[in-house]
Chains A and B, each alone.
Chain A
Amino acid sequence: MSPDQLTPERPTAAPASAAPVADARGSSPARRTRRPFGSQQLGRAALVFLMIVVAVPFVFPIWWMITSSMKSTSEILSLPPSLWPESPSIESYRQVFELQPFAEQYLNSLYIAVLVTVGTMAVAAFAGYAFARIRFRGSNALFVLVLVGLLVPSEVTIVPLFRMVNSAGLIDTHWPLIVIPILGAPSVLATFIMRQFFVTLPGELEEAGRMDGLSRFGIFARIALPLSRSALAAVAIFTFLKSWNLYLEPLVYLSTKSNFTLPQALTQYVDAYGGPIWNVQLAATTLTVIPVLIVFIAAQRQFIEGLANSGLKG
C-alpha cells in the first residue's frame, strides 16, 4: 500500500470532482487556485488514510479467521488476543477432518454447486433466448408466469416444498438442493438476465445465420450463445455463490452428517455443551472461504460487475 500512497495517481483529475469530504468548507475557484499545492495533497493523503481505517472491519475478520485457526485451544482463549499465533500449527485443521466427514461435506457442496450452476445456465440460456428472440403464441404470458418467481422469497414456499420433497421420499438426499434451484424460483433471475442480454443482439446476425441454412438451434448454439459469454459468466458467478452459501434449505432437507453441505457443517463443530470449538470451527471456515476468495481476487472485475448486475436487475 505504501508505494501507492507515494505516487499520486492522476493529480489532474482531482479538481473537477473535488471531494465533498475533503474540503468541507467549500471553496470558490479563486481560493482553490491560490491554495498551495501541498495542502491538496495532504487532503488526499488524509482520505487515503481514512479509507485504510474504514477497510479494517472488512479485512480484519478474515485476517482473524485465518490466524486464529492456527492457534492452539489455550492460545485462542488467552488474553490479550494475539494478532499472530505464537506457534502456528495445523492441528485444528487435522481435527476438522476428524470430528466430521468434512471432505465428504466439501465434496457435497462442490458437486451440488457445480450441477446447479451448469443446470441454471442451460435452463436460463434456452428460456432467455426463446423469450427474447423467438416468436410463438403465448410467449409473453409464459414469461410473466416465469417472472412470478422473482417475487417469491424461498422462505415463503419452504413449507409446501418440504411437503413435496417429503412425499417424494427425497428427504435427506441432495435432489431438492439440485433440482429446485435449477428449475424453481432461484433460476428465474438468471433467465431474466439472459433474456435482457439476448434482446440486445442485432437481428441481422440471426438473419445471416438463417440464410446460411442454420436451424433455430444452430443459430442459438453457434451465433447467440458464443456472444453471451459475459452474461453467462455473471449468471455462473452468482448462481454458484448462491448454491455454495445455501443454508435454510439444507437445514430443512438434510439430517445425516455425511450428507450435509458446508454452511450447515460449519456450525457443527461444538463441544459437549454445545459451545463452539473455536479454532477447529475457524479452520473449517477458512477452508470454505479461501478457494472462493482466490477465484474472486483472480477475476474481481467479473465478480463485482456480475454480482452488481444481479442485484440491480433482481
Chain B
Amino acid sequence: MTSITSTGQAGRPQRRSAWRRRDAATGYAFVAPAVIGALAFVIVPLGAVIWYSLHEWNVLANTFTFVGPQNYQDMLSDGALHDSLIASLWFSLGVVVLNITLSLFLAVLLNQHLPGTTLFRVLFFTPVVVSLVAWTIVWGFLLQADNGINGFLAEFGITGPNWLRNNVTAMISVIVVQVFKNVGLNMVLFLSALQSVPEEIQEAARLDGAGAWRRFFSITLPMISPTMLLVAILTVVGSLETFALIDVLTDGGPGTSTTVLVFYLYRQAFEFNQFGYASAISVLLFVIVLALTLLQWQTRKRWVFHES
C-alpha cells in the first residue's frame, strides 16, 4: 500500500491509505459518545458499587469506613434479606410460569387464522405500551377491599378477599398485574416462532394420524423450545428488575411479603441511608442477572446453530 512507484497510478494507493487513516479517525469519533458514556455511566459506577460494598457508609451519619467483606457477612445473617430473596423467588417463579403459559396460549390462539386476529393482537399487546405506573394504579383501584373487582363479585354474593392486605393474595396480585402488563411482548415472540414451524412437518404428522394435542406437544413445542428458553430468561431478568409495580401497588407489604430484592435494595439505600450495605445488595443483584444473561447468550448461540 505504501510503496511508491513512478507510474501514473501512483496516487491511487496512496490516496486509498490516506482515506483509510482518515476513516479510522472518523470511526473513533463516531463511537466516542457511546464509549465515553459506557465508561462514565456503566464501567466506573460498576467498579464504584463494588468498592462501596466494602465500606460502612451511612449518608446521614456521614461515615465512610473500609470494612472489607463485612457487608457480605451481614447479608448472610440478615433475615429481612433472606425474606426478600424468597419473595423475589416466588415472584419470579410465578411471573415466568404464568407469563409463559398465557403468552403461549395467546400465541396459539392468534395463530389459528380466526376472524379478528389483528384486532386481538393489538388488544393483547396494549398493556405493553401503557405506562407501568398507570397500569398499576388502575389495578390498585380494581383490587380494593370493597370496590372494583370485589364490588362486582359482591353482585353475585361472593365476598372477595382483601387482595392487597393478605400475604398470599398480595403476592398473587403483583404477579398477575405484572404478567398482564407484559404478556403481549412474549406473545409476539411466540407467535413468530410458531409461524416458523414448517407446515409440512405438521401435515406429515397429521397424515400419520397424530392428533392436535400430540402434534402440539411432539412437534410444535420442541421446535419452539429455544424461543421458550430465551423468553423464560428474559422474563426472569425483567421480573428481577421490577420496582415501580411493588412501590405503587403494595409498598412491599403487607409486612414484607412482597418486598422483592430490588425494593429491599431501594429501602436500604434511600430510606435507611445504608449506602454501603445497599451496594453489597446491588452486587448480589448484578451477579444474579449476569448469570442469567450469560445463560441466555449461551442458549442463543445454540439456537442460531439449531436454525442453520
Q: B-contacting residues of A (Cβ < 8 Å)?
A: 1, 4-5, 7-10, 13-14, 16-29, 44, 47-48, 50-51, 54-55, 57-59, 61-62, 64-65, 68, 76-77, 79-81, 122-124, 126-127, 129-131, 134-137, 139, 142, 145-146, 148-164, 180, 182-185, 187-188, 191, 210, 215-217, 220, 241, 244-245, 247-248, 251-252, 262-264, 266-267, 276, 278, 281-282, 285, 288-289, 292-293, 296-297, 300, 303-305, 307-308, 311-312, 314
Contact = CB atoms under 8 A, between A and B. Distances in A.
Nearest to A305: B188
Given A21-B108, A157-B49, A160-B52, 15 more contacts: A17-B111, A20-B108, A24-B212, A58-B126, A81-B152, A134-B30, A135-B24, A148-B42, A151-B286, A156-B282, A248-B243, A248-B266, A276-B140, A282-B138, A311-B186
Nearest to B290: A151
B127 A4 contact: no
Contacts of A267: 133, 137, 248
A27 to B, nearest CB: 7
In the A-B complex, list the 5 residue pairs whose CB atoms are closest, starting with the nearest: A26-B211, A183-B37, A184-B41, A130-B30, A127-B34
A80 B139 CA distance: 18
Contacts of B36: 183
Contacts of A28: 209
A188 to B, nearest CB: 7
B158 to A, nearest CB: 13
13 contacts: A50-B109, A123-B34, A135-B20, A142-B35, A158-B282, A159-B49, A245-B133, A263-B132, A264-B133, A266-B137, A267-B137, A281-B141, A304-B125
A185 B111 contact: no
Given A134-B27, A159-B52, A293-B130, A145 B115 contact: no
B106 interface: yes
A263 B185 contact: no
A35 B278 CA distance: 65
Given A17-B199, A183-B33, A26 B212 contact: yes
A17 B209 contact: no
Nearest to A131: B31
A65 B40 contact: no
A62 B185 CA distance: 18
Contact of A145 (B35, B127, B188): B35
Contacts of A16: 199, 202-203, 206
Given A54-B109, A308-B188, A134 B26 contact: yes
Interface string B45-82: 11011001000000000000000000000000000000
Interface string B240-264: 1101100110000000000000100
A275 B115 CA distance: 44
Given A64-B141, A80-B151, A158 B269 contact: yes
A146 B34 CA distance: 7
B10 interface: no
B128 A307 contact: yes
Nearest to B241: A153
B141 to A, nearest CB: 6
Contacts of B114: 9, 44, 47-48, 51
Given A20-B213, A156-B289, A312-B189, A285 B137 contact: yes
A17 to B, nearest CB: 6
B124 interface: yes
Nearest to B292: A151
Nearest to B36: A183
Contact of B275 (A159, A248, A288): A159
Residue of A220, A251, A285 with most chain B CB atoms under a 10 A cut-off = A285
A307 B185 contact: yes
A289 B285 CA distance: 31
B286 A153 contact: yes
Given A20-B212, A247-B132, A293-B129, A29 B112 contact: no
A5 to B, nearest CB: 6
Interface stretch (B90-98, B142-150, B165-173): B142-150
A142 B248 CA distance: 39
A251 B270 CA distance: 10
A50 B109 CA distance: 9
Contact of B234 (A9, A24, A314): A314
Interface in B273-305: 275, 278-279, 282-283, 285-286, 289-290, 293
